[in-house]
Amino acid sequence: MKHKSTNNILLALTALIWGSAFVAQSVGMDYLGPFTFNSIRSVMGGIVLLPVLFILKGQGRQSGHPESDAGESSAGGRKTLVIGGILCGIALAVASSLQQIGIVYTSAGKAGFITALYILIVPIIRLFLGRRAGRKVWIGVALAVAGMYFLCITDGFSISKGDFLVFLCAVVFSVHILVIDHFAPKVDGVALSCIQFFVCGILCAVPMLALERPRVDEILAAWMPLAYAGVLSCGVAYTLQVIAQKNTDPTVASLLLSLESVFSVLTGWVILGERLSGRELFGCALVFAAVLLAQLPGKKMAPERGRQPGEKAVSDTDSVKL
Q: What is the pLDDT of residues 67-88, one digit of tens each?
A: 444 445 566 788 899 999 999 9
What sign for the dihedral angle of Cα 168, 161, 23, 48? positive
C-beta separation of 100 from 29 below 8 A: yes
Tell whether the model's pLDDT for residue 307 goes beyond 50: no
- The whole-number pLDDT of residue 224 equals 92
- The whole-number pLDDT of residue 186 equals 83
pTM: 0.74
Q: What is the pLDDT of residues 39-59, one digit of tens each?
A: 999 999 999 889 888 887 776
Q: What is the pLDDT of residues 114-138, one digit of tens each?
A: 887 777 787 788 778 777 767 776 7
For 86, 214, 247, 290, 318, the CA distances from 180, given in Å and listed in that order, are 11, 32, 21, 23, 11
- The domain spans of the chain are 2-294
Measured in degrees and rounded to the nearest 5, phi and psi for residue 159 equal -115, 140
- Alpha-helix residue ranges (DSSP H) falling in 213-259: 216-221, 223-227, 237-244, 250-257
**Average pLDDT estimate for 205-225:** 92
In whole angstroms, what is the distance from residue 294 CA to residue 305 CA?
17
Residue 29: Cβ within 10 Å count: 18
Point out which residues pair with 311 in neighbouring strands: 321
| Pairwise pLDDT comparison (135 vs 229), residue with the higher score | 229
Q: What is the pLDDT of residues 14-38, one digit of tens each?
A: 888 988 888 888 888 889 999 999 9
Tell whether the model's pLDDT for residue 5 goes beyond 80: no
DSSP track, 53-97:
HHHHHHHHHHTT-THHHHHHHSHHHHHHHHHHHHHHHHHHHHHHH
In whole angstroms, what is the distance from residue 85 CA to residue 308 CA?
12
| Pairwise pLDDT comparison (226 vs 157), residue with the higher score | 226
- The whole-number pLDDT of residue 74 equals 65
Phi-psi sector, 275: left (phi>0), alpha (psi -120 to 50), beta:
beta
- The whole-number pLDDT of residue 71 equals 47
User: Which uninterrupted H or E stretch holds 280?
Assistant: helix 278-294
